[in-house]
């Protein structure tokens, strides 16, 4: 197990990464007042472990993105109040990114903030959502529109939880890992070296640490997403979030990858990214997606992207790959964006 300390102005967040992380962490919360948030799937698999380690105060959300809403946030807060949670209690977010985001927001609000531990149980949550303090719920069809920056005091990234993860969720986590590959030369090289075997456990254990270490460095520089450094972590996300809402049933990580595919197309069109590098990146993306991502109504997807928080005025903001380890932000008008999405959709074999 390895440890990363993410120092930010608000808090030192300690991240334990690797096999054995959970067992090493668990004894440290003995005697604390704990409140667990999890979801139905995770609870079914880990009820015994949760109860043995953290006790009986548990809020179980219905699994799925639809649960990340203000109504459930209030229900969690109400359950904390009814459960007699005090100022020095600790919220344990035990689950994937949905649980982490809503439980993190609840921890930030209850009594103006109580301690938070993230125990991410999906690959996506281990490499991304549990680290860095972004918490949120969705509202009115807009993703993450209500939220707060609230650093977890501890994050416990233990690969043991990946053993029960469906293949689809591994693919979803790989989506965010490929995103890191477009941002960081070291991660890119490892992805290229292991391209045929990205889901292998030994590879994942190693790459989880690299992704977390990379993200921690970015968040250290720009905790509140103000200077632009953290914005880069949104590669693939503007279009990806739109597809997430457009498709309905697809997972976040998969949509990020679909977003990265469309945004790479745009970067190529603008002459920002090309040659072997663009070809390799496309192969990496398609290697995980398994098929070119089709979109029947690119206009609709583009219209959804307008609501992304990164946009200003009429322009769509995208983080696009340039060359190995280098990305940049571009802003394009909505009409141009719609045209390019539709073009890419047609090239992928769908669209009008």
**Rg (alpha carbons) of the chain, rounded to whole number:** 20
Tell me how long the chain is: 352
> C-alpha 47: how far from its chain's center?
24
If one counts every other C-beta atom within 10 angstroms of the C-beta of residue 60, the result is 18
Rank residues 225 and 278 by Cβ distance to ligand NAD and give the closer one: 225
CB 174 within 8 A of CB 123: yes
E strand or H helix at 328:
strand 326-333
Of the candidates 96, 120, 132, 152, which one interacts with ligand GLY according to CB under 6 A? 132
User: Is residue 250 near ligand GLY by the rule CB under 6 A?
Assistant: no
Of the candidates 107, 132, 177, 289, which one interacts with ligand NAD according to CB under 6 A? 132
Separation CA 234–CA 310 (nearest Å): 9
String of contacts with ligand NAD for each residue 140-179, x by CB under 6 A: ---xx----------------x--xx---x--x-------
| DSSP state letter for 236 | T
Rank residues 18 and 350 by Cβ distance to ligand NAD and give the closer one: 18
Separation CA 315–CA 309 (nearest Å): 11
* Site for ligand NAD, residues 220 to 249, rule: CB under 6 A: none
User: Is residue 65 near ligand NAD by the rule CB under 6 A?
Assistant: yes
| Residue 125 structure tokens | 């949550």
Rank residues 120 and 351 by Cβ distance to ligand NAD and give the closer one: 120
The one of ligand NAD, ligand GLY, none whose footprint includes residue 230, by CB under 5 to 8 A per kind, is: ligand GLY
Q: What is the nearest approach in angstroms of ligand NAD to the Cβ of residue 269?
A: 27
Separation CA 216–CA 222 (nearest Å): 10
User: Is residue 233 near ligand GLY by the rule CB under 6 A?
Assistant: yes
Cα–Cα distances (Å) from 7 to 37, 90, 124, 220, in that order, read: 25, 20, 22, 6
Of the candidates 181, 236, 240, 253, which one interacts with ligand NAD according to CB under 6 A? 253
Owner of token pair 């914005």: 231
Separation CA 299–CA 92 (nearest Å): 41
The one of ligand GLY, ligand NAD, none whose footprint includes residue 124, by CB under 5 to 8 A per kind, is: ligand NAD
> C-alpha 343: how far from its chain's center?
28
Residue nearest ligand NAD (C-beta atom): 97
Give me the residues that bind ligand NAD (CB under 6 A), please. 39, 41-42, 45, 63-65, 68, 95-99, 101, 121-122, 124-125, 128-129, 132, 134, 143-144, 161, 164-165, 169, 172, 251-253
Give me the residues that bind ligand GLY (CB under 6 A), please. 128, 132, 134, 230, 233-234
């Amino acid at each position: 197990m390895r440890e990363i300390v993410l120092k930010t102005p608000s808090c030192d967040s300690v991240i334990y990464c690797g096999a054995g992380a959970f067992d090493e962490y668990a004894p440290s919360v003995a005697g604390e007042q704990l409140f667990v948030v999890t979801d139905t799937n995770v609870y079914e698999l880990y009820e015994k472990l949760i109860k043995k380690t953290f006790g009986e105060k548990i809020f179980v959300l219905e699994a799925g993105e639809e649960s990340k809403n203000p109504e459930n946030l209030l229900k969690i807060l109400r359950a904390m109040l009814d459960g007699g949670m005090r100022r020095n209690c600790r919220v344990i977010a035990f689950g994937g990114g949905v649980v982490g985001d809503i439980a993190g927001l609840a921890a930030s609000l209850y009594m103006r903030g109580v301690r938070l531990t993230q125990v991410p149980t999906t690959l996506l949550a281990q490499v991304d959502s549990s680290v860095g303090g972004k918490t949120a719920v969705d509202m009115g069809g807009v993703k993450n529109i209500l939220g707060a920056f609230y650093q977890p005091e501890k994050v416990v990234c233990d690969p043991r939880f990946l053993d029960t993860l469906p293949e689809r969720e591994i693919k979803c986590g790989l989506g965010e890992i490929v995103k890191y590959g477009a941002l960081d030369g070291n991660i890119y090289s490892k992805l290229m070296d292991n391209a045929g075997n990205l889901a292998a456990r030994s590879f994942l254990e190693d790459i989880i640490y690299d992704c977390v270490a990379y993200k921690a460095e970015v968040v250290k520089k720009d905790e509140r997403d103000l200077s632009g450094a953290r914005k880069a972590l949104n590669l693939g996300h503007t279009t990806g979030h739109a597809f997430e809402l457009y498709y309905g049933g697809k997972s976040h990580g998969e949509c990020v990858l679909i977003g990265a595919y469309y945004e790479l197309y745009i970067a190529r069109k603008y002459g920002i990214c090309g040659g072997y590098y663009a070809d390799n990146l496309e192969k990496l993306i398609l290697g995980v997606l398994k098929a070119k991502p089709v979109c029947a109504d690119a206009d609709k997807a583009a219209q959804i992207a307008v609501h992304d928080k990164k946009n200003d005025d009429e322009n769509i903001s995208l983080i696009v790959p340039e060359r190995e380890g280098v990305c940049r932000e571009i802003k394009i008008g909505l009409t141009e964006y719609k045209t390019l999405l539709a073009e890419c959709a047609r090239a992928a074999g769908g669209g009008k």
